[in-house]
Amino acid sequence: MARGFIPGEEAAYVLALLEDPDPENKKSGLQRLCQLYRSGLTLRYPHVFRQHLNGLLYSPSPKVRRWALNAIALCGRRTDNLDAVLDSIERCRDDPETLVSGVPALFGLTTDREVIKLLQHRQIPLEGATLLASAQVSNDQRAQLRKNPVNIERANPLELRMATLLVGMDKAPQNLFDKKHANGVVIGQLNGHHDHLVAQYSVWAMVENPSLGIGDLTISLKDTESLSPNVRGWVYRLVSADEASAAAHLDYIVLGSQDQSDEAREGLAIGIRNVFVDGIDETTLNWLPDEEVPRIRQRLLEHMAACAEKCPAYLTPVLESYRWADKAARTRLEGAARGTGTFRELRRIALATEQAELKLERPMVVQNINTQGGSIGIVSGEGTVIAGSVEAINRMNDADALKPLLADILKFISEHVRDDAKKTSGAELVKNVAEKPSKSKFKAIIDYLKMLKEGGGYLDAAGHSIGNLIQQGEAAIHHLPGVIS
């Protein structure tokens, strides 16, 4: 039964993930949407999400397609999604993983009787993995499982994964596997299954089902490093499932932050989103600067945005990231900070950005101004920041080795950055360095250039030389006074 609506900021966060080009972000958004629905919340305005889910059924990523079907089973509607689901099943008949995700979607969209007819017409038997999958949604099919328990010695890996999904969703009949043993006991036995996906699903079930937890884990945490990366990621999420567990297993959070697998580190970063305990800040603040994967950095920043009121040291990286973030990343940080004072700080920055954009009213013309670094094609107008930046560079000593590099950076900003607000903020950074160079000021320029490189649509097609500027900047910063703050 629905307990209310998903908060607007959280819905916007999920939508931003679904629209992200990275399939891993899409998958995370779909998982989050499913989790919210299983908790009893629903979308206030679901139509736009249903249309997005239809589009994701054509994703080249099998994981995205399967999770889109899982989401449709929970929040889809017959008139919006049925045809798209049937088409997906037809296209993916040879992919058993997609098929077993499509069957519960059908049961979520229409009546049991119609689903059975649709499956019979397509010669898809409702047995084994498809029967287990259908029980996610259908009470009648769940009743069938009471008569047909799952034998873990004979069941194939796909059937075992569908069974663990039922347990994780708390939809499984009691003693699904064995009349003598509770479901949680058997799920624990599957932690060490030779199929790494079965093992992963079994740990996922312990994270998802409120009646299960780390006490049901049968593999030793001391063996975490020997597990496959996908299983490690869920073990890290299990140890950080709540603050009590995180405090008791802080050493494994440290271990996860140093894991060589992107998948495993991302699992931990997602798991700690709303968790803060003494000592975790030392790990995350050391982790963030070294994390090279943008989506994992974003997950860490979401944790910091959610917990900044408990850890004031988190506020600075959150606000700095927000200033340079694109719309999607800003939406994610706002969603994480929902209901906190940090959210109000973020909105102040957003309002200031909007006001700055409104001030760019005068038509702009291109001028050429010669500096030591060559001719800079700049965008100028009365009182613009870019013109002031050029003047600041010109006032620098010609013997200053930084002068031509700043000129090249400013030229790049003026010629290749398409977003006026980002163009202005970049020029301001250049001006600050030209007036009084320091390591911390110049690092802000390097972070700005990296933000442009990572995406967001701020650069034109010819902006490929940004990598060279970043390399030159990282070499030059070591010769500047001060420390990097």
- Per-residue pLDDT averaged across 112-125, rounded? 94
Domains, the chain, with CATH or none: 1-148 (1.25.10.10), 365-479 (no CATH)
Residues with Cβ < 8 Å from 336, sequence gap 6 or more?
Answer: 13, 273, 301, 302, 303, 305, 306
- pTM of this structure: 0.72
374-380 vs 4-5, strand pairing mode: unpaired
Residue 456 confidence class, pLDDT cut points 50, 70, 90: low
pLDDT of residue 417: 87
How high is the pLDDT of residue 363? 43
Q: What is the pLDDT of residues 180-194, one digit of tens each?
A: 889 999 999 999 999
**Residue 358's pLDDT is what?**
59
Model confidence band, residue 368 (pLDDT cutoffs 50, 70, 90): very low
| Per-residue pLDDT tens digits for 408-430 | 898 888 888 888 778 888 888 99
Band (pLDDT 50/70/90 cuts) for residue 451 is: confident
